[in-house]
Chains A and B, each alone.
Chain A
């Protein structure tokens, strides 16, 4: 038995790791998270900036690190958009351009009503020159980015008004996977220019060397996917809606309407279509996230269901939907407690099982080591 373990083929370990990650990925159990202080300070910073503040996001990573850093880019983009900040995207990696597109896609879909290109967000694309590029934009942004990624001069965009350099940004976010990355942003931007406020998101491998910069040069940091998960948890706590009273009210009504041939799903789709609700929104109704719908659609839905519109609206508000100031959309339009918006939290279960497997492997390795020593195989 021991001999078998000593001779263990590495491929068995690989298989164990594969299973430890694959099974939770498929089962998707949800694990709660609490933001640690280093993550909370990033959240507080974005939360407390006045609406319309300028935020520059430097996405210095490539497809290889996208699975680890993509979720924090998305969470930070969503949070900034919820607060109404103006967003500038750049990358110092030539392979980082599609990472920006991924972030701006969120603004174009989830925040299509509020966010318009050139008005409150801008994609400046790739800037060559590594740390020299950082030094350059600290004093003059247009020297590195005379035009945005669409080739139109930077100065002509509305969002560019009053922006001369990185020092005009209210916050700079560096999401980096290596060189150039967070370390360079700290050394060449945040340290020499006290006016530049920097927060960062980094991969797990490169997180330990960045800790010395917190909290002086870095206001806060999201270390690895765990940091992103904590951020999502903070986002859900602030912008999530629970969705409890609403499905009960609807389920009751839908049960009355449904017959032997009509499932809850089919009747919901049917009713939503009758109310003229768009297909994209119908999914939200099915998920019990009606508290994310515009006021007009809720009223139309109530009409076809023959329920008092006020009853549904009140239930939605009770669930945390914020229709204050007579808004057409609830200000927390999307339910950020929903798993659709929690890519990092979803990965906490695979991460847990992988960590546990590592511990088992370390213990096993040591058992073998001591047995070998007892046998006198090792000194």
Chain B
């Protein structure tokens, strides 16, 4: 009986304070406190008390053995909202036992405050952790607040074992910088600096050579032809909302097309599959018409909403194409399975078609059925290219810095990997792992991966 209490006391957790900045232990509660209390009585009194306590604790005889070695540590690189707890399984938590002795683990948590004794409350929404689990992340905590934990094993009847406890409170620390992302930040800054450098160069009047993009050269031609033929133009900004950068890129091209349309006095229709895209397209067209000096020619009905449903939208668009036979079709945005249906229908009515998307899967379809296709980055370059403004063109040049960096990393990675594989050198293997997990990865990587064989 006494041994049982003692064993629990001995198994008291080795709670560790992060960075040594935690509060000192605030005294003991629970079973260790109880033992101290019992020891405060005379010997005979101790014996009597132990018998009484033994009777009171009778149900505990059937309870499973307690888990041991409860530890808590701060979760690194987070907002100070979580702690990781780990422990050694209860000796009764054995998969070979049938029926199992341990049905799960129950975790209690207490906030430590100078004013009052900590009050332990069951956490995880009254749910027990399953057997064989020896680690859990407790989330939703208050930053810097010290916490104490108590862990018990429970059996199928809900009987709790004696508790494993932390002997010192632990505080979740706030990390003001995610250190796992330091390389990511460095690369981001490098690419951004490259872009900003070329914007500066362009502002200073340095000549930047940008290759011709046929698809964008053809925009003027398409608008001109629609005007000559007296037919409308169809602009489709994809099927995604404004939070997709492709939709934004599509709308920037619409600004240019809208202005040409106003100047040539042509007609354009922009049916959308998202309400927000409709309002944005209206704003854009209105400004374009204003910029072209034709605010009177603009009317709201140029852009209208159809439906969020992908194929409902496609049905409208193909129907429109077949009925109205627009002279030019622009498909600029995020497209999915509808790309070929749209492009083939446009092709069958003989419209000039210019497409642009960053969905790699749809590019082959557009290439096959459209006159011009802006492939991925060309599509994002469209706005800068069409504006012809030097500072926008500078951003295109800046992207080359990123490409250079990407190429360099690929080359270094390939050589290093090949060498490490062939030479069987641990140092090279470490370098490969560092490149893979630290430079290119953003997560906490276990030491054993970084230091193989150690």
Binding site for B on A (CB under 8 A): 10, 62, 64-65, 95, 139-140, 142, 153, 155, 160-162, 164, 177-179, 192-194, 203, 205-209
Contact = CB atoms under 8 A, between A and B. Distances in A.
A161 B128 contact: yes
A144 to B, nearest CB: 14
B439 to A, nearest CB: 15
A177 B240 CA distance: 14
B336 A179 contact: yes
Contacts of A161: 104, 127-128, 130
Contact of A205 (B124, B334, B361, B443): B361
* Closest CB pairs A-B (n = 8): A162-B130, A155-B125, A178-B336, A209-B360, A206-B361, A209-B361, A155-B127, A64-B311
Interface in B349-373: 359-362
Contacts of B130: 161-162
B125 A142 contact: yes
A188 to B, nearest CB: 12
Contact of A64 (B104, B133, B240, B310): B310
Contacts, number: 53
A162 B125 contact: no
A192 B442 contact: yes
A249 to B, nearest CB: 39
B360 A208 contact: yes
Contact of B337 (A64, A95, A139, A162): A64
14 contacts: A62-B310, A65-B337, A139-B139, A160-B127, A161-B127, A162-B128, A177-B337, A179-B334, A179-B336, A192-B443, A193-B443, A205-B336, A206-B361, A208-B360
A160 B130 CA distance: 10
B126 to A, nearest CB: 7
A178 B443 contact: no
B348 interface: yes
Nearest to B180: A192
Nearest to A154: B125
A311 B187 CA distance: 73
Given A205-B336, A208-B360, 20 more contacts: A64-B337, A95-B309, A155-B125, A155-B127, A161-B104, A162-B104, A162-B130, A162-B133, A164-B124, A179-B240, A192-B442, A193-B443, A194-B443, A205-B337, A205-B361, A205-B362, A206-B336, A207-B361, A209-B359, A209-B360
A64 B341 CA distance: 14
Contacts of B125: 142, 153, 155
The bracket for how many chain B residues form the interface is 20 to 34
Interface of B: 104, 124-130, 133, 136-137, 139, 240, 309-311, 334, 336-337, 348, 359-362, 442-443
Contacts of B336: 177-179, 205-206
Nearest to B442: A192
B97 to A, nearest CB: 16
Contact of A155 (B126, B139, B311, B362): B126
Contact of B348 (A10, A62, A95): A10
B139 A140 contact: yes
Contacts of B311: 64
B278 to A, nearest CB: 19
B87 to A, nearest CB: 15
Contacts of A179: 240, 334, 336
Contacts of A140: 139
Contacts of A192: 442-443
A89 B127 CA distance: 21
A30 B126 CA distance: 53
A158 B136 CA distance: 19
A295 B337 CA distance: 49
A32 to B, nearest CB: 29
Contacts of A162: 104, 127-130, 133
Residue of A192, A193, A194 most packed against chain B (CB within 10 A):
A194
Nearest to B446: A194
A64 B136 CA distance: 41
Contacts of B359: 209
Contacts of A194: 443
Given A139-B139, A140-B139, A208 B361 contact: yes
Residue of A10, A177, A178 most packed against chain B (CB within 10 A):
A178
A162 to B, nearest CB: 3
A64 B443 CA distance: 37
A179 B334 CA distance: 10
A117 to B, nearest CB: 18
A62 B442 CA distance: 33
B324 to A, nearest CB: 19
A193 B334 CA distance: 27
Contacts of B139: 139-140
A192 B440 CA distance: 11
Contacts of B129: 162
Contacts of B124: 164
A363 B360 CA distance: 26
A203 B340 CA distance: 15
A164 B130 CA distance: 11
Given A142-B125, A206-B361, A178 B337 contact: yes
Contacts of A64: 310-311, 337
B168 to A, nearest CB: 25
Contacts of A177: 336-337
A68 B403 CA distance: 37
Residue of B240, B348, B359, B361 most packed against chain A (CB within 10 A):
B361
B98 to A, nearest CB: 14
Contacts of A205: 336-337, 361-362
Contacts of A139: 139
B398 to A, nearest CB: 24
B360 A203 contact: no
A371 to B, nearest CB: 21
Nearest to B105: A162
A69 to B, nearest CB: 12
A346 B129 CA distance: 44
A98 to B, nearest CB: 14
Contacts of B136: 164
A160 B311 CA distance: 37
A95 B307 CA distance: 14
A203 B338 CA distance: 13
